[in-house]
C-alpha cells in the first residue's frame, strides 16, 4: 500500500511538474528578478541619481509642483524608494471653464524629477524592473485576467508537485548533503533534490502566499458566502481613505512640509510612498499619503489623510487577525520589507526554485532518452520537451539580456519605446525556441548558452559606450547599485560560458557524433 | 554584522552535521569516525543551527529574524555541500598518486 | 494488454477530472462554510476561509491520486461537499448576506 501510494505520488509529481514546468520556470525567474525591480529600473534610467531619502524626494516633488503647477486641481507624487531613482509627478490642470470637469492628459501632465536635486530630467521611456514584476503574474500580450488565471493554475500544479516531491523523496535527511557530479541522470536528480530541499521553506512559502496575493480572484466563494457584492467586502475589509470634497476659498499652493512632519512623527520616520494632494490651491486642500511598504512585513501599508495644516482627518483603523495574516502573507511573498541582506537571500532562494524547476525538466528528458536510446527509436514527445526545455531554460535568460541591450540601443525618441524594449525580450526568447527546434539538441544547448554568455557580457560594454556610466565610473562615484548590476551581468555571462563549455565537453564525449554524421550523410 | 554571525553559525552547524554522517565521513576524513564522536558532532551541529536562529531572531526581531534565519540556513547548507565537494575532491587527488605508486 | 492500457488511461483521466473539479469544489465549499461559521467580523471570516481553502486544494488532489480505488474517494467527496453546501445554503437563507 505504501509503495503504491509513493508510486502514484511519483507519477503525479512527474506530470504536474512537466506539464506546466516551462511557464513555472518563467514565472519563478521573472519573480526572482522582480526582487530587484527598483534597482533594475535605476540601471535602466541612467539619467537619474539614486534616491537618498524617500521623504526628501516627496518634498522635492511637492516643491516642484508648487512652483510649476500652482493652479492644478490635483497633484500626485510617486517617489522611488531608496533602492531606486527618479520621482514621478502627475498633475491635473484646472478646467477651461469653472463648471467643466478637470481632465488629466496622461501623456502631457507628467514629469520626472531627480530625487536629490529636484530638477526635472528626461528619463528614457522604459518599464525597467516593473516589466519582470508584471510578467511574473500578468504575463504579457494578453488580458491581465487570463495571465493571472494561467499563473494561478500553474502555481497549483507547482504546489502539488512540491508536496508530492516531499512524499517521493524518501531520504530527505540521509541525502541532504548528497550531490554527485558527472554521473548523468543521478547528478540531475541530486541537483534537483538539493535545491528543492535546501530552499524548501521558501518554495512552500512562496507558492502558498502566491495564491493568497490573488485570493479573492482564485477563490471568491468565501466572500460570496458573506457579501452580496465584492465592493461591500473590499470596503469592509480594506477601508480606503475618504476625501471630503467641500470647497473653500483660493489660497497659495500647498506646502507639503506640515504634512510630512505629521507622518514623520506618526510613522517613526517611515516615508510616504505615494502622495496625492487634492485642491492644492484652495483652503480646503487635502493631502493623502500611503506609507512605504518597506516599513513592515505586512504589505497593506498605513494610509492617512490630512488637511492643509497637516492635521489628521482620517486614519486607518486597526486590523483584524485574518486581514493582518493576509497582509503579512502578501508581504512575505513580495519581500518589499526586506533590507539588502535579506533581499539577496530572497533572490538566491528564488534562483534555487528556478534551478529546481529547470533541473526537473531536464531530468525528465535524461531519464527517457536513456530508455528510448535502448530501443533506438525517435520520439516526438521527447523531442518536443527537449526543444521547450532548451528554449525556456536558455531562451528566457537570453530574452532578459536582449531586454537590457534594448534599453541601451533603442533610440530615445522611439514611439512606445517601453513596449519596443519588451518586444526585444520576447523576440529573443521566441527565436530561441525556433533555433532549438532546428538544431540537434546538444548543439542547440551549446550555441544558445554561448549566445547568452556573449549577450550578457556585452551589456556592461554597450552601457559604457551609450551612456555616461560604466562600471568604473559607477564604482568611483560610489554608485554601488549600478555597479553591482554590471557585476551581476558579467557573472551571469561567466556562468553561461561555463555551462556552454560543460555541454560542449559532454557532447564531444557522448556517442552522438557518429549518428549525426550518418544523418548528414543521408541528407547530403 | 548579525547577518554574518547568523550565517557563520549556520555554516558551522551544517559542516558538523555533515561530518556526523557516516556516509560522508570517508569523503571528509578518509575514514569513519567513532560512533560516539559522530553523535557529539550531530549534537554540536544541531546546537549551532539553533544558535543561528537565535542570533538572527534576537538581532533582527523574531519575525524578520526567523525569515532571515531560514535564508541563512538555505545558503549555509548550499555552501556546506560545496565545501564537502572540494574536500572530497582534494582528498581523492592527494590519494591518487599514492595509489599509483603502490601499483 | 490494449484493454488494460486503455482502462488505465481512462482511470488517469477520471482521477484527473475528479482531482481538479472535486478539489476546487471542496476548497470553495470549505471557504464558504468557514466564512459563514467563523465567529467575528464577516469580512475577516471570509478572508480566513479563503486562505485556508488554498491548503485544502492540494490535500484533496493528493488524496484522489493516492487512494487505491477512486470510487470511495468520489463518494466521500460528493457526500462531504453536499454536507458543506447544505450547511452554507441553510446558513445563508436563515442568516442572509451583508
What pLDDT is attached to residue A78?
97
pLDDT in tens, A357-409: 999 999 999 998 888 777 766 688 899 999 999 999 999 999 999 999 999 99
Residues of A in contact with C65 (CB under 8 A): 8-9, 11-12
Please list, in sequence order, all residues whose beta carbon lies within 8 angstroms of the beta carbon of residue A274, skipping any fewer than 6 positions away: A76, A77, A78, A289, A290
What pLDDT is attached to residue A523?
39
What pLDDT is attached to residue C3?
57
* pLDDT confidence bin for A524, thresholds 50/70/90: very low
Residue of A nearest to B27 (CA): A178
Residues of A in contact with B23 (CB under 8 A): 174, 178
C-alpha grid cell, residue A136: 511574473
Which segment of A141-145, A195-199, A241-245 scores lowest on mean pLDDT?
A241-245
pLDDT in tens, A141-180: 999 999 999 999 999 999 999 999 999 987 888 889 988 8
pLDDT in tens, A265-296: 999 889 999 999 999 999 999 999 999 988 88
Task: Please tell me which chains touch C, using 3 or more CB pairs under 8 Å as the contact test.
Answer: A
User: Which residues, numbered 68 to 97 in chain B, qualify as contacts with chain A under a Cβ-Cβ cut-off of 8 Å?
Assistant: 68, 70-72, 74-75, 77-78, 80-81, 84-85
User: Exposed/middle/buried for B1, CB within 10 Å: 0-12, 13-18, 19+?
Assistant: exposed
Please compute the mean of the pLDDT values over residues A478-485 and round it to a whole number.
95
Q: Of residues A8 and A87, which shows the higher confidence score?
A: A87
Q: Per the CB < 8 Å rule, is C50 touching A11? A: no
What pLDDT is attached to residue A521?
40
User: Which residues, numbered 197 to 216 in chain A, qualify as contacts with chain B under a Cβ-Cβ cut-off of 8 Å?
Assistant: 198-199, 201-202
Residues of A in contact with B84 (CB under 8 A): 177
* pLDDT confidence bin for A507, thresholds 50/70/90: confident
State the distance between the two ends of chain A, measured CA to CA, in whole angstroms.
Answer: 56
* Cα Rg of chain C (Å, integer): 17
Give the Cα separation of A432 and A113 in Å (integer): 39
**Is 70 exceeded by the pLDDT of residue A198?**
yes
Residue of C69, C78, C86 whose CA lies nearest to C33: C86
In contact, A113 and A60? CB cutoff 8 Å: yes
Task: State the DSSP code for A241.
Answer: P
What pLDDT is attached to residue A509?
59
Please compute the mean of the pLDDT values over residues A64-89 and round it to a whole number.
96
Q: Of residues A356 and A169, which shows the higher confidence score?
A: A356
C-alpha grid cell, residue A122: 528626461
Residues of A in contact with C91 (CB under 8 A): 225
The interface predicted TM-score (ipTM) is 0.92
Residue of A277, A265, A292, A241 whose CA lies nearest to A79: A292
Q: Of residues A315 and A2, which shows the higher confidence score?
A: A315
In contact, A452 and A157? CB cutoff 8 Å: no
Interface test with A, best of C19, C23, C35, C58 (most A CBs within 10 A): C58
User: Which residues, numbered 6 to 45 in chain B, qualify as contacts with chain A under a Cβ-Cβ cut-off of 8 Å?
Assistant: 14, 17-18, 21, 23-24
User: Exposed/middle/buried for C97, CB within 10 Å: 0-12, 13-18, 19+?
Assistant: middle
* pLDDT confidence bin for A484, thresholds 50/70/90: very high
- Average pLDDT along chain B: 91
Query: Does chain B reach chain C with at least 3 CB pairs under 8 Å?
Result: no
Residues of C in contact with A12 (CB under 8 A): 61-62, 65
What pLDDT is attached to residue A146?
96
What pLDDT is attached to residue A155?
94
Q: Per the CB < 8 Å rule, is B18 touching A202? A: no
The SS3 of residue A288 is strand
Q: Of residues A246 and A54, which shows the higher confidence score?
A: A54
What number of other Cβ atoms are within 10 A of residue B85's Cβ?
15
- The count of CB pairs under 8 A between chains A and C is 120
Task: State the DSSP code for A27.
Answer: H
Full domain range(s) for residue C45: 2-95
pLDDT in tens, A429-478: 999 999 999 999 899 999 999 999 999 999 999 999 999 888 999 999 99
Residue of A350, A439, A384 whose CA lies nearest to A22: A384
**Is 80 exceeded by the pLDDT of residue A14?**
yes
Strand partners, A282: A250
What is the pairing mode between strands A87-92 and A303-307? unpaired
What pLDDT is attached to residue A501?
95
Q: Of residues A488 and A243, which shows the higher confidence score?
A: A488
Residues of B in contact with A349 (CB under 8 A): 71, 74
What pLDDT is attached to residue C2?
52
The enclosing H or E element of B4 equals helix B2-20
Residue of B nearest to A175 (CA): B23
What pLDDT is attached to residue C5?
65
In contact, A284 and A248? CB cutoff 8 Å: yes
What pLDDT is attached to residue A100?
87
What pLDDT is attached to residue C12?
85
Q: A166-177 burial, b for 16+ CB within 10 Å, e for fewer? A: bbbbeeeeebbb
Give the Cα separation of A500 and A453 in Å (integer): 8
Candidate from C28, C33, C47 with C-beta closest to A322: C47
The SS3 of residue A218 is helix
In A185-280, where does DSSP find H-type helix? 185-198, 200-213, 215-218, 221-226, 230-237, 257-266
Give the Cα separation of A111 and A90 in Å (integer): 7
What pLDDT is attached to residue A244?
83
Residue of A168, A203, A238, A211 whose CA lies nearest to A14: A168
What pLDDT is attached to residue A279?
94
The SS3 of residue A450 is helix
Give the Cα separation of A256 and A61 in Å (integer): 9
In contact, A494 and A395? CB cutoff 8 Å: no
Give the Cα separation of A392 and A397 in Å (integer): 8
Residue of A488, A519, A191, A190 whose CA lies nearest to A355: A191
Residue of A271, A330, A343 whose CA lies nearest to A300: A330
Q: Per the CB < 8 Å rule, is A222 touching C61? A: no
Task: Please tell me which chains touch A, using 3 or more CB pairs under 8 Å as the contact test.
Answer: B, C
What pLDDT is attached to residue A376?
63
**Is 50 exceeded by the pLDDT of residue A522?**
no
Residue of A315, A264, A260, A254 whose CA lies nearest to A286: A254
* pLDDT confidence bin for A519, thresholds 50/70/90: very low
Per-domain boundaries in chain A: 2-44+129-213+337-512, 54-127+240-316
Give the Cα separation of A92 and A95 in Å (integer): 9
* pLDDT confidence bin for A98, thresholds 50/70/90: confident
User: Exposed/middle/buried for A97, CB within 10 Å: 0-12, 13-18, 19+?
Assistant: exposed
User: Exposed/middle/buried for A263, CB within 10 Å: 0-12, 13-18, 19+?
Assistant: buried
Residue of A189, A197, A183, A177 whose CA lies nearest to B24: A177
What pLDDT is attached to residue A372?
78
A405 — phi, psi (to 5°)? Answer: -65, -45
Residue of A199, A178, A520 whose CA lies nearest to A347: A199
The enclosing H or E element of A75 equals strand A74-78
What size, in residues, is chain A? 524
Q: Report the percentage of chain A scoring pLDDT > 90.
A: 79
In total, how many domains does chain C have? 1
Q: A371-402 burial, b for 16+ CB within 10 Å, e for fewer? A: eeeeeeeeeeebeebbbbbbbbbbbbbbbbbb
Residue of A12, A29, A7 whose CA lies nearest to A357: A29
Give the Cα separation of A325 and A344 in Å (integer): 24
In A127-184, where does DSSP find H-type helix? 130-138, 144-168
Q: Is C42 on the interface with A (CB under 8 A)?
A: yes
Each residue's pLDDT tens digit in chain C (98 positions)?
455 667 777 888 899 999 999 999 999 999 999 999 999 899 999 999 999 999 999 999 999 998 988 999 999 999 999 999 999 999 999 988 87
Question: Which residue do the cell numbers 483584524 mark?
Answer: A320
What pLDDT is attached to residue A513?
43
In contact, A368 and A344? CB cutoff 8 Å: no
pLDDT in tens, B10-43: 999 999 999 999 989 988 998 899 999 999 999 9
Residue of B nearest to A197 (CA): B74
In contact, C60 and C19? CB cutoff 8 Å: yes
Q: Is C49 on the interface with A (CB under 8 A)?
A: yes
Amino acid at each position: 500500500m505504501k509503495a503504491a501510494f509513493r508510486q502514484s505520488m511519483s507519477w503525479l509529481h512527474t506530470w504536474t511538474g512537466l506539464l506546466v514546468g516551462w511557464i513555472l520556470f518563467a514565472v519563478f525567474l521573472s519573480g526572482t528578478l522582480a526582487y530587484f525591480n527598483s534597482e533594475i529600473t535605476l540601471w535602466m534610467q541612467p539619467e537619474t541619481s539614486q534616491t537618498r531619502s524617500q521623504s526628501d524626494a516627496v518634498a522635492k516633488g511637492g516643491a516642484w509642483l508648487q512652483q510649476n503647477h500652482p493652479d492644478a486641481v490635483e497633484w500626485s507624487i510617486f517617489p522611488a524608494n531608496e533602492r531606486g531613482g527618479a520621482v514621478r509627478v502627475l498633475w491635473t490642470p484646472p478646467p477651461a471653464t469653472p463648471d467643466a470637469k478637470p481632465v488629466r492628459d496622461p501623456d502631457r501632465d507628467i514629469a520626472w524629477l531627480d530625487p536629490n536635486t529636484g530638477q526635472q530630467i528626461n528619463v528614457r521611456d522604459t518599464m525597467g524592473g516593473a516589466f519582470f514584476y508584471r510578467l511574473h503574474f500578468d504575463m504579457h500580450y494578453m488580458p491581465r485576467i487570463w495571465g493571472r488565471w494561467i499563473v494561478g493554475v500553474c502555481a497549483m500544479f507547482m504546489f502539488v508537485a512540491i508536496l508530492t516531491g516531499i512524499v517521493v523523496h524518501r531520504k530527505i535527511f540521509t541525502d541532504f548533503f548528497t550531490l554527485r557530479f558527472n554521473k548523468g541522470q543521478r547528478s540531475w536528480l541530486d541537483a534537483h533534490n538539493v535545491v528543492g530541499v535546501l530552499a524548501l521553506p521558501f518554495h512552500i512559502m512562496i507558492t502558498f502566499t502566491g495564491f493568497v496575493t490573488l485570493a479573492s480572484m482564485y477563490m471568491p466563494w468565501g466572500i460570496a458566502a458573506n457579501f452580496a457584492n465584492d465592493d461591500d467586502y473590499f470596503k469592509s475589509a480594506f477601508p480606503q481613505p475618504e476625501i471630503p470634497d467641500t470647497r473653500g476659498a483660493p489660497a497659495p499652493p500647498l506646502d507639503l512640509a506640515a504634512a510630512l512632519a505629521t507622518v514623520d512623527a506618526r510613522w517613526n520616520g517611515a516615508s510616504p510612498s505615494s502622495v496625492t494632494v487634492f485642491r492644492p490651491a484652495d483652503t480646503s486642500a487635502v493631502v493623502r499619503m500611503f506609507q512605504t511598504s518597506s516599513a513592515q512585513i505586512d504589505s497593506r501599508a498605513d494610509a492617512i489623510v490630512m488637511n492643509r495644516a497637516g492635521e489628521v482627518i482620517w486614519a486607518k483603523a486597526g486590523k483584524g487577525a485574518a486581514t493582518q495574516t493576509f497582509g503579512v502573507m502578501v508581504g512575505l511573498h513580495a519581500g518589499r520589507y526586506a533590507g539588502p541582506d535579506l533581499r539577496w537571500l530572497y533572490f538566491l532562494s528564488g534562483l534555487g526554485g528556478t534551478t529546481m524547476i529547470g533541473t526537473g525538466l531536464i531530468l525528465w528528458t535524461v531519464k527517457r532518452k536513456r530508455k528510448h536510446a535502448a530501443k533506438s527509436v525517435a520520439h516526438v514527445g521527447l523531442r518536443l520537451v527537449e526543444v521547450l526545455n532548451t528554449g525556456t531554460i536558455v531562451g528566457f535568460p537570453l530574452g532578459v539580456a536582449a531586454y537590457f541591450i534594448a534599453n541601451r540601443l533603442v533610440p530615445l525618441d522611439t514611439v512606445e519605446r517601453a513596449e519596443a524594449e519588451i518586444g526585444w525580450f520576447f523576440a529573443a526568447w521566441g527565436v530561441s525556441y525556433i533555433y532549438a527546434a532546428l538544431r540537434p539538441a546538444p548543439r542547440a544547448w551549446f550555441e544558445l548558452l554561448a549566445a547568452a554568455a556573449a549577450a550578457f557580457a556585452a551589456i556592461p560594454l554597450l552601457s559604457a559606450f551609450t551612456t555616461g556610466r560604466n562600471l568604473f565610473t559607477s564604482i568611483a562615484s560610489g554608485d554601488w547599485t549600478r555597479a553591482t548590476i554590471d557585476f551581476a551581468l558579467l557573472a551571469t555571462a561567466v556562468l553561461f560560458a561555463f555551462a556552454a563549455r560543460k555541454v560542449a565537453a559532454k557532447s564531444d564525449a557522448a556517442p552522438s557524433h557518429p549518428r549525426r554524421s550518418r544523418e548528414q550523410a543521408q541528407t547530403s | 554584522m548579525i547577518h554574518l554571525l547568523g550565517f557563520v553559525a549556520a555554516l558551522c552547524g551544517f559542516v558538523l552535521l555533515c561530518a556526523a554522517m557516516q556516509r560522508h565521513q570517508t569523503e571528509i576524513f578518509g575514514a569513519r569516525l567513532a560512533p560516539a564522536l559522530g553523535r557529539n558532532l550531530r549534537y554540536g551541529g544541531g546546537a549551532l543551527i539553533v544558535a543561528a536562529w537565535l542570533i538572527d531572531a534576537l538581532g533582527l526581531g523574531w519575525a524578520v529574524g526567523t525569515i532571515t534565519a531560514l535564508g541563512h540556513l538555505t545558503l549555509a547548507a548550499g555552501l556546506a555541500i560545496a565545501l564537502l565537494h572540494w574536500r572530497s575532491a582534494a582528498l581523492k587527488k592527494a590519494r591518487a598518486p599514492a595509489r599509483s605508486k603502490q601499483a | 494488454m490494449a484493454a488494460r492500457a486503455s482502462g488505465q488511461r481512462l482511470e488517469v483521466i477520471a482521477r484527473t477530472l475528479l482531482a481538479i473539479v472535486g478539489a476546487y469544489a471542496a476548497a470553495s465549499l470549505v471557504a464558504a462554510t468557514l466564512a459563514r461559521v467563523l465567529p467575528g467580523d464577516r469580512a475577516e471570516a471570509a478572508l480566513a476561509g479563503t486562505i485556508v481553502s488554498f491548503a485544502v486544494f492540494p490535500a484533496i488532489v493528493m488524496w484522489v491520486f493516492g487512494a487505491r480505488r477512486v470510487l470511495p474517494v468520489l463518494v466521500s467527496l460528493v457526500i462531504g461537499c453536499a454536507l458543506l453546501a447544505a450547511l452554507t445554503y441553510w446558513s445563508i437563507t436563515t442568516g442572509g448576506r451583508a
